Amino acid sequence: MTQYKTTIGLEIHVQLKTNSKMFCTTSAQYFGSEPNVHTCPVCLGLPGALPVINKEAIESAAKFALGLHCHVSDVSKFDRKNYFYPDLPKGFQISQLDLPIGKNGWLVVEGKKIRINRAHLEEDTGKLIHAKVDGKSVSLVDFNRSGVPLMEVVSEPDIDSPDLARSYAKVVHQLARYLDVSNADMEKAGMRFDANVSVSKEGIDKLGEKVEIKNINSFRFLEKALVFEVERQIKTLESGKQVIQETRGWVEDKAITVSQRVKETSPDYRYFPEPDLPPLVFNEADIEKLRKMLPELPDKKMDRFVLEYGLDKITAQNLTEDKNLAQWYEDGLTIYAKDDKNKAAKAKVLANWVVGELIRNLREKAININSASIEPAGLIELLRLVDSSEINQTTAKKVFTQMFSTGKTPSRIIKDEGLAQVSQEADLEELLDEVIVENESAVEDYRQGKAASLGFLLGQVMRKTGGRANPVVASKLLKEKLAHGNRN
């Protein structure tokens, strides 16, 4: 069978987080609002309205570009991209053509370097809803989103699988969140993807015909759409046909891409410099100042967690996926390892709890760490109770789940639920006697030298205490009792 090579390039649109829109003072916080209540003459494209650049959007865009390892151009300008579409009130979109904010960047994803051609700033369009009104098909337009700052990150075709495309998109998403320049909220369409994909026979340098899949709004759909499209193109080639260069749309409920060809003319946007907006000039000092403002980025943080806390790479990756979760971990560790004794061991124990129980609980509730009521100090209190054998691991996990949902302190939960470990010999004695009487044959086996029977008897003790017996104390006491019985 012929081997095929997949070539994918992504265009990622990320809404920047600003109070006001890109070129006007209308609020950009439109999500969930009634239609057309966040507009003004500028973002409605009324005649004579003039745009003014939002400083914050420029700074965020430049930071984003630096985070993508782009060269931030000393001169950047805006251009008009002209086309007619009902979601574009002016008949043109203010975008950037030849002098984008950032050029020639890269990101490393799963060990592979993916080059970034450009990162430019533009204004978002309005939103179209297709509906039937009085039995007639119509499109309804809401301009609340019109003019919200949008960063477009264009990769080179360096992505060789749908899986890598998804990972790359996630890295861009993570970066935007780390830099705090965007909420990149998938549910609110704060991040959207267009993918260019082609397949060609292995060993042939010439790329196959390129198909563009537009307007994908989730990581999962991105991967699914690409998997479908790669298979479709290979099947087309295998059947002796040609792949046609075209735009296709992802239809989620059918899990297929469909041709969106309306007419086969290549777009003619007649870009020209936006005459209403003077150019942006960055000097070295401005760029250096922004570079210094960048927080520790995900890959650096991950490396540091491995080096500083002795964590394995996967644990460090899980901890640093969300900046706030990483902060939560480090806050916890500061408390847990306050006396600096056994810091490495404590770093591991805490990491396992965060990556295991905490992330599991966050996922179950589908929330992120900022909306969770559990504080690092609470988990550390719990871990200290485990360290001092007041409760065992199993109980601790139960307590943690309750802490997570109620926000109560561990000692409160342990007291309320009677979960404290039974460590007092006097408390265990009676129970052990019961177990010995109830399990004569196991006791006999043990006395005959079958060591495994001890484990069985201990299990019975645990069962009676609902797992609360301190295993070390119980085992010691049980051995003494059995030896004592033997002598009789």
By CB under 8 A, name the binding residues for other proteins. Answer: 18-20, 24-28, 34-41, 43-44, 52-58, 77, 82, 84-86, 128-131, 133, 137-143, 214, 247, 249, 260, 262-263, 268, 270, 273, 275, 277-281
Question: Residue 259 Cβ, how far from other proteins at the closest point, in Å?
Answer: 9
Question: Residue 372 Cβ, how far from other proteins at the closest point, in Å?
Answer: 30
Question: Residue 45 Cβ, how far from other proteins at the closest point, in Å?
Answer: 11
Specify the residue, 83 or 163, whose C-beta has the smaller distance to other proteins: 83
Closest among 199, 277, 203 to 238, alpha carbons compared: 199
Question: Residue 350 Cβ, how far from other proteins at the closest point, in Å?
Answer: 38
Question: Residue 32 Cβ, how far from other proteins at the closest point, in Å?
Answer: 14
Specify the residue, 96 or 117, whose C-beta has the smaller distance to other proteins: 96
The Cα 440–Cα 436 span in angstroms is 6
From the number of C-beta atoms within 10 Å of its C-beta (0-12, 13-18, 19+), residue 270 rates as exposed
Burial 363-401 (b: 16+ CB within 10 A, else e): eeeeeebeebebbbebbbbbbebbeeebbbeebbbbbbe
Position of tokens 């397949």? 199
Specify the residue, 238 or 246, whose C-beta has the smaller distance to other proteins: 246
Closest among 226, 109, 106 to 171, alpha carbons compared: 109
Question: Residue 41 Cβ, how far from other proteins at the closest point, in Å?
Answer: 8
Which residues face 275 on adjacent strands? none
Specify the residue, 79 or 357, whose C-beta has the smaller distance to other proteins: 79
Specify the residue, 58 or 457, whose C-beta has the smaller distance to other proteins: 58
471: left (phi over 0), alpha (psi -120 to 50) or beta: alpha
Specify the residue, 38 or 166, whose C-beta has the smaller distance to other proteins: 38
Specify the residue, 84 or 241, whose C-beta has the smaller distance to other proteins: 84
From the number of C-beta atoms within 10 Å of its C-beta (0-12, 13-18, 19+), residue 279 rates as exposed
The Cα 30–Cα 148 span in angstroms is 9
Specify the residue, 140 or 307, whose C-beta has the smaller distance to other proteins: 140
Instruction: Tally the C-alpha atoms within 13 A of residue 452's C-alpha that lie toward its C-beta.
Output: 0
Question: Residue 217 Cβ, how far from other proteins at the closest point, in Å?
Answer: 16
Question: Residue 194 Cβ, how far from other proteins at the closest point, in Å?
Answer: 11
Position of tokens 């060809």? 261
Whole-angstrom CA distances from 380 to 128, 333, 336, 353, 391 are 50, 8, 6, 10, 14
The Cα 433–Cα 204 span in angstroms is 79
- Structure-block tokens of residue 284: 């070295």
Specify the residue, 60 or 453, whose C-beta has the smaller distance to other proteins: 60
- Pair type for strands 246-251 and 211-216: parallel
Specify the residue, 108 or 138, whose C-beta has the smaller distance to other proteins: 138
In the DSSP assignment, the letter for residue 27 is: B
Q: How many CB atoms lie within 10 A of CB 251?
A: 12
Specify the residue, 25 or 388, whose C-beta has the smaller distance to other proteins: 25
Specify the residue, 36 or 361, whose C-beta has the smaller distance to other proteins: 36
Whole-angstrom CA distances from 38 to 92, 140, 294 are 20, 16, 31
Q: 334-343: long-range contacts (C-beta < 8 A, 24 or more apart)?
A: 335/376, 335/377, 335/380, 336/380, 336/383, 336/384
> How far does the chain reach from its first CA to its final CA, in angstroms?
79
Question: Residue 51 Cβ, how far from other proteins at the closest point, in Å?
Answer: 10
Question: Residue 61 Cβ, how far from other proteins at the closest point, in Å?
Answer: 12
Question: Residue 60 Cβ, how far from other proteins at the closest point, in Å?
Answer: 9
Question: Residue 34 Cβ, how far from other proteins at the closest point, in Å?
Answer: 6
Whole-angstrom CA distances from 60 to 114, 181, 381, 417, 427 are 22, 5, 39, 50, 63
